[in-house]
Amino acid sequence: MSLISKKMKNSTRVEDSFKFVELNTSYMRPYVIIYSTITIDGRLASKTGYSELSCPYDKQRQHELRAEVDAVMVGANTVRIDNPSLTIKYSKRRGDKIRVVVTTSLNLDPSYKIFNTPPPTIIYTLDDSKMDKFKDKGVIIRKFRKLNEILEDLYANFNVKKLMIEGGGHLIWNFIKEGLFDEIRLLFHLESSEMGLILQMERDLTVRIPLS
């Protein structure tokens, strides 16, 4: 696994069980970890949208990280293609987290697994005109204009101090572009995909590859 971490001017390094955490002291927002599996040629999914690249061991690591955070976020297209539940299955540490979906249109089917509550699900959308179809699901609908507003709302109103973003590529890239992240953890799938979604990177990132 490769860990990519953004350098932060106002941060404090804390040793925690042989791992370090950069404490963000500049923003009233959660500590954001972007987590994704990519192919060796830098693609998150095939041209058909298929993104199931992880092996069972990778799945366990993914669920271990879910157990460490307060909330897990995905984009609307990930919900449509993968229909994830975003619960914790492959970790000894139980206790499901807040699930967060970001969508511009709210054009989502309420029957998707992620909308079965509990655990709680929050939808952030630019257009809340279709929110009535979620009325009986117990889903929280919040309107936003910018991504930083989502982070500030999660921190202030839902006590989310650490957030994991699992995809998809469009959502991940927008958080990178806005600089709204603290770590990127990448698992590399040792096959290439001729066509598909490419994960792009900023130039001001430091790449650190653990030896164990």
- Residue 63 structural domain: 29-199
Query: Is 121 contained in some domain?
Result: yes
Q: Per residue in 128-167, pLDDT tens?
A: 888 999 988 999 999 999 999 999 999 999 999 999 999 8
Task: Flag whether 101 is in a domain.
Answer: yes
Mean pLDDT, the chain, as a whole number? 75
Within a domain: 6 = no
- Dihedral over alpha carbons 135, 138, 139, 143 (to 10 degrees): 60
Q: The pTM is what?
A: 0.73
**33 phi and psi, to 5 degrees?**
-115, 120
Give how many domains the chain has, as a whole number.
Answer: 1
The whole-number pLDDT of residue 208 equals 38
CATH number of the domain enclosing 53 = 3.40.430.10
- The verdict on residue 7 lying in a domain is no
Q: Could you give the 3-state DSSP secondary structure of residue 19?
A: strand
Look at residue 12 and tell me whether its pLDDT is greater than 60. no
205 within some domain: no
19 lies in a domain? Answer: no
Task: Read off the pLDDT of residues 154-201 as tens digits, 9 standing for 90 and up.
Answer: 999 999 999 999 988 889 989 999 999 999 887 765 554 444 444 444
pLDDT beyond 80 at 78? yes
